[in-house]
Amino acid sequence: MAHKEFGRTQRIAPQIRRELAEILSRQVSDPRLERLVISVVEVSKDLSHAKVFFTLPNAEDAPAALAALKGASGYLRRQLADRLRMRALPTFRFVYDASLDSALRLSELIDTAVADDVHKGSPS
């Protein structure tokens, strides 16, 4: 039976991510959420909780976006209830996903190291 539950959570998580992203882009006009991207949704095995990871182009905007998401969570759940056929929707916990920031910093470090290498290797 556990295998079936695992399959269901694996199917529901991307659905929730897609629907939340669409609701946020089309129905929510809060400027704090304008450039927000839902990156991943993790749903608990019993489907009672969902951890919603989001990212933003500017990490300094994360606290304001988190507050806006928490404030809109009831509205988001109601909108999802209309779209998804589930007996009960999970409660949301929103988490800022800093992996994009880390990837960008790492990419910048690599670019700098490559540029320095090219510069040192070129004859003067």
Residues 54, 39: Cα–Cα separation, whole Å: 5
pLDDT (tens digit, 0 to 9) for every residue of the chain, 124 residues total? 444 545 878 889 999 999 999 999 999 999 999 999 999 999 999 889 999 999 998 889 999 999 999 999 999 999 998 898 888 889 999 999 988 766 667 777 788 888 887 777 655 5
Amino acid at 118: V
Q: Domain 2-98, what fold?
A: GMP Synthetase; Chain A, domain 3 (3.30.300)
Provide the pLDDT for residue 104: 67
Can you give the residue ranges of every domain in the chain? 2-98
Residues 27, 62: Cα–Cα separation, whole Å: 20
Burial of 16 per CB tally in 10 Å (0-12, 13-18, 19+): buried
Place of tokens 């079936």: 4
Tell me the three state secondary structure of residue 98.
Answer: coil
- Taking the model in full, what pTM does it have? 0.76
